[in-house]
Amino acid sequence: MTDPRLELRSAPHLHAAQGVEQIMRNVVLALLPLCAFGVFLFGLSAAALIVVVTLSCLGTEQLFNRLAGRAGTLGDYSAAITGMLLALTLPPAFPLWMGAVSGFVAIGLGKALFGGLGFNVFNPALVGRAFAQAAFPAAITDWSPVMRAGRFLELQSSSLSLPFMAPPESAVIDAVTGATPLATYKTGVATTSNFDLLFGFTPGAVGETSALLIMICGVYLLARRMLDWRIPVAILLSAALLSGALNLLDPARYPGALYMLFSGGLMLGAWFMATDMVGTPVTPLGVWVYGVLIGVTTIVIRLFGALPEGVMYAILLGNAATPLIESVTQPRAYGRRRPRKRGPP
Amino acid sequence: MLNRLRRTFAHGIHPPEHKHTADRAIRRFPFAPQLILPLAQHIGKPARPIVRPGQEVVRGEPIAAADGFLSVPIHAPATGTVTAIALAEDARGGKGEAILLRPYPGDDQRVRYGAPRDLATLDREALIQAIQDCGMVGLGGAAFPTHAKLAVPDNFPIDTLIVNGCECEPYLTNDDRVMVEWADDLVRGIDIALRVCGAARAVIGIEDNKPRAIESLRRHLRDHAHIAVEPVATKYPQGAERLLIKTLLGREIPSGARSWDIGVVTQNIATLAELGQLLPLQRGLIERVITIGGDVERPGNYLVPFGTPLRYLLEQAGFREAAGEIILGGPMMGSTVPSLDIPVTKGVSGVLALAEDWHLGQARRVYPCIQCGHCLAACPMHLNPSRLGMLAARREYAQMAQRYHLDDCFECGCCSYVCPSNIPLVQQFRIAKAFNREQAAAA
């Protein structure tokens, strides 16, 4: 018998089946129903927006990989997730060119400049969203109504507006606008019923309106152990407790806990944005601190800040606080007295 | 608290068990044409050869003597002729001195050395000497001299002897079979160990995926109130000493200390079974039960003479692959061998022969750490492998040890197992530890 060719490998020789590509692919799968529902509610404009923003993110990722001389990373799906998430948080009739620019900023500024997947401090989609909020303040608050007749036949006029050709204001005047539930609360107009919020037939961003659908998609990922359940639980629970307590104090001023949970971007943020593994603490206790920080900040911004919506800034704040949270929540190792408390991460 | 009720420890992983050979009874393995007996088969100083080339030896006769207290003798695994004392390859890729022995093909290979004795007449010192004389080492894999582990100084009062029958490594079933088939020897060995270490009671921890072993031992221990059988949850790495103590007694060994410091001595199940078998007959350790598994035609649990070269072992077991990976021990902590001239030694609990295509689904792209935190949720020592890995990538080895308890890592491999980015964390930690050791030695 001739000897077999021997291979040398370092232990362990077994490996769990779940890899980065698999996790990311399933996140994409979980986001698809949200995209589909957004297209159903808002029509062609939403579909075009999702496609344009996602393509912009993929193209930017590829561009920066080329510039850096790195191997392609489109196969890990993370850029696609960023694009889809960003599109889902934008108004349905958001001008497509603005969407493309936001996608470029999300990947370029939010991810590539930090060194790509794993090195970004903030959730790239939220960096893109924050850029859009700052750069296009009019268009980002231009909410089109749901279930508009003929939505599958033509794009809304604002979608096709061109850069520098017409001031964004004209697009606003053009569009048939409808206020989001959070905005109506903020301006003191009649509120939407919790039932409508749950099912999502309300004006809002492409993929943020249906709390129920978001929860179903989130639970899918959770069941496949690809999502850290502690983060949505910590965010939603702390947000519900805080807003519930305020509502008890003064029901006339503060809406109820369910209204807070089901409106705006809180559901999408809690399940899909805040759970982006990069930028969240790895320590067991840190995850809870991070979630509570986001939940509380969201409610505080919504109720006491100038903006109707606070999820985006809350999560960005959570991302920024992550290194600090980690450094003070190092686990107690076996056989050691207590975790170390001081020092940089 | 909850974990003690569930009879387990916090964190850990559930790799596929692959205990395909659990039903295969222990069978004697044939003698290879040549046996290779390294002098350093144990932790401590290598044994000193006491035979010359050309000398005839009988099975069971000492052929190398212990060199000091932390050392054990080696006995001839077969009746035959010493052909040479020469350098031979070892499992770590280096070379070490070994006694080469050619067994007589026509011999019946009975053990002709040793005489029965009454252990009750021996005092503690004599028992410790007897254990050293039989060449016993920890058969769980560490190969630490057993007498040295049992000879606890008087200022460390020991209350409990923990007998480790967890066998948490996938594939391995040798300890399982020993518990099922050699329960009498095991009980005798436990009583010897109790006398030496001074503990009043023994607790046998067995993972609950071995119901027959649990049942077998319970039956044999009906009249032994001081020996308890405790099933524990099946979870890797339950068999690690520190975690088994935590599970059974709720105590933690402080970092850097030994189990003596918290009143506990642990022994592997196979070690005590061999001890119970050999000591009353005044015989030496010349063979052990190992699991041969993986892509071989005749997997099973075999009583293999020490010194059997892997080439012969795999021929006999029927390994027909053109390429593959040969692992000594289990797939989580075992090491692959660079050559088939390496023999089975005292610390080898299993030989896994895996065909090349076994890894096809596994040689995957390494991604940057995405900070998913899976490794923290898996690490049984509650370390932060994610942060350790990032520090290792920056070669901040001193920082790893000082701030993130690198030295508490016992390389169980849970972090590498779960890492979705396929980062070779354990490998990085080994390099970091080796680097730190060199730095400390140089200073």
Consecutive H or E run containing B436: helix B425-442
- pLDDT of the residue at B359: 57
For residue B282, give the nearest of B106, B123, B129 by alpha carbon: B129
What stretches of B176-307 adopt beta strand conformation (E)? 201-207, 227-232, 264-268, 287-294, 300-305
**Alpha helices (runs of H) in chain A, residue ranges in sequence order:** 20-42, 44-68, 78-88, 96-110, 124-135, 168-174, 181-186, 194-199, 211-223, 230-249, 257-262, 266-268, 284-304, 311-328
A6 close to B (CB below 8 A): yes
- pLDDT of the residue at A345: 44
Q: Which residues of chain B have pLDDT under 50?
A: 360-361
B287-294/B300-305 β-pairing: antiparallel
Shortest Cα distance, chain A CAs vs residue B170, angstroms: 9
Mutation choice for A interface testing from B382, B408, B418 by most A CBs within 10 A: B382
Q: What per-residue string of b and e applies to A82-119 under the rule 16 or more CB within 10 Å gives b?
A: bbbbbbbbbbbbbbbbbbbbbbbbbbbbbbbebebbbb
What are the domain boundaries of chain B?
2-22+115-281, 374-442
DSSP state of B283: -
- Share above pLDDT 90 across residues of chain B, in percent, rounded to a whole number: 83
A20 close to B (CB below 8 A): yes
B396 close to A (CB below 8 A): no
Asked whether the beta carbons of B410 and A335 are under 8 A apart, the reply is no
CA pair distance A93, B280, nearest whole angstrom: 88
Shortest Cα distance, chain B CAs vs residue A41, angstroms: 34
DSSP state of A269: I
The 10s digit of each residue's pLDDT in B273-286 is: 999 999 999 999 99
Q: Six-digit token pair at A246? A: 């305020």
Say what angle helices B397-404 and B385-393 make with each other, to 10 degrees.
160
Q: Which residues of B touch A283 (CB under 8 A)?
A: 373, 376, 384
For residues B278, B279, B281, B287, the Cα torsion angle rounded to the nearest 10 degrees is: 20
Q: Which residues of chain A have pLDDT under 70?
A: 1, 164-179, 183-192, 338-345
The amino acid present at A127, given as its one-letter code, is V
Q: Are B372 and A343 inside 8 Å of each other by CB?
A: no
Shortest Cα distance, chain A CAs vs residue B410, angstroms: 12
Asked whether the beta carbons of B30 and B254 are under 8 A apart, the reply is no
What are the domain boundaries of chain A?
20-142+144-177
pTM: 0.89
Nearest CA in chain B to A73: B367
- pLDDT of the residue at A173: 44
Nearest CA in chain B to A225: B374
CA pair distance A78, A24, nearest whole angstrom: 6
Asked whether the beta carbons of A271 and A239 are under 8 A apart, the reply is no
Contacts of B294 (CB under 8 A, 6+ apart): B171, B319, B327, B352, B353, B354, B355, B358
- Share above pLDDT 70 across residues of chain A, in percent, rounded to a whole number: 89
Phi, psi of A190 (to 5 degrees): -55, 150
Q: Are A345 and B387 inside 8 Å of each other by CB?
A: yes
Class of domain B2-22+115-281: alpha beta
Shortest Cα distance, chain A CAs vs residue B49, angstroms: 31
Say what angle helices B174-181 and B211-220 make with each other, to 10 degrees.
30
Question: How many Cα neighbours within 13 Å face the side chain of B338?
Answer: 8
Q: Are A331 and B364 inside 8 Å of each other by CB?
A: no
Locate tokens 């939940």: which residue? A295
Nearest CA in chain A to B431: A10
Burial of A55 from C-beta contacts in 10 A (0-12 / 13-18 / 19+): middle
The 10s digit of each residue's pLDDT in B227-276 is: 999 999 999 999 999 999 999 999 999 998 999 999 999 999 999 999 99
Report the residue from A23, A115, A336 with minimal CB separation from B255. A336
**Alpha helices (runs of H) in B334-424, residue ranges in sequence order:** 374-378, 385-393, 397-404, 414-418
Contacts of B67 (CB under 8 A, 6+ apart): B45, B46, B47, B48
B350-355/B287-294 β-pairing: parallel
A342 close to B (CB below 8 A): no
Contacts of B78 (CB under 8 A, 6+ apart): B31, B35, B59, B101, B103, B104, B107, B109, B286, B305
> ipTM value of the model?
0.86
- pLDDT of the residue at B316: 94
B323-328/A5-6 β-pairing: parallel
